[in-house]
Amino acid sequence: MSVELPFAPVDTIIRRNAGGLRVSAEAAEELAGRIQRRGAALAETAAERADAEGRKTLMPADFGVSEVVDPDALELPIAPIDRIARLDIADRYRVSMDARIALAQLLEAYADDIAESATTLAHHADRRTVKAEDVRTYIELAD
């Protein structure tokens, strides 16, 4: 699975949570990969919900989102989120624009949570840089 998500917006998400800490490129790359895997899994679950209702189009409700935010309020770009959504469901389903935005909304909240926690781990380790190991450690602890 290649990473579809550009690292720059992911880096921005980490930095907005990191305060004055630096962010390694590897941390952004690690988080981008995690976001992608999470997005593909969420889309697969959403596809199962749509399929149970006899639909071939994913909607925001399939992702458990009742209110979709303005896409301009999101850091994550919508086009790569659409490609991530289709990684494991291929061309069997369509993904409505609102569903893409809903998925981006969920993934950005997920990224914020990881970035905030990775920052806490970097502080705890008395480092001035958030590293990929902080992202991995948090995810291991959260599972």
Q: How far apart are CA 126 and CA 121, in angstroms?
A: 9
Render pLDDT for 57-67 as a digit per residue (tens, 0 to 9). Answer: 999 999 999 99
User: Is 90 a residue whose pLDDT tops 90?
Assistant: no
Q: Which residues pair with 58 in a beta bridge?
A: 95
Summary mean pLDDT of the chain: 95
Domain boundaries in the chain? 7-142
Show the CA angle centred on residue 76, arms to residues 72 and 78, nearest 5°: 75
pTM of the model: 0.95
User: Is 3 a residue whose pLDDT tops 70?
Assistant: no
Render pLDDT for 98-142 as a digit per residue (tens, 0 to 9). Answer: 999 999 999 999 999 999 999 999 999 999 999 999 999 999 999
Task: Give the domain 7-142 fold.
Answer: Histone, subunit A (1.10.20)
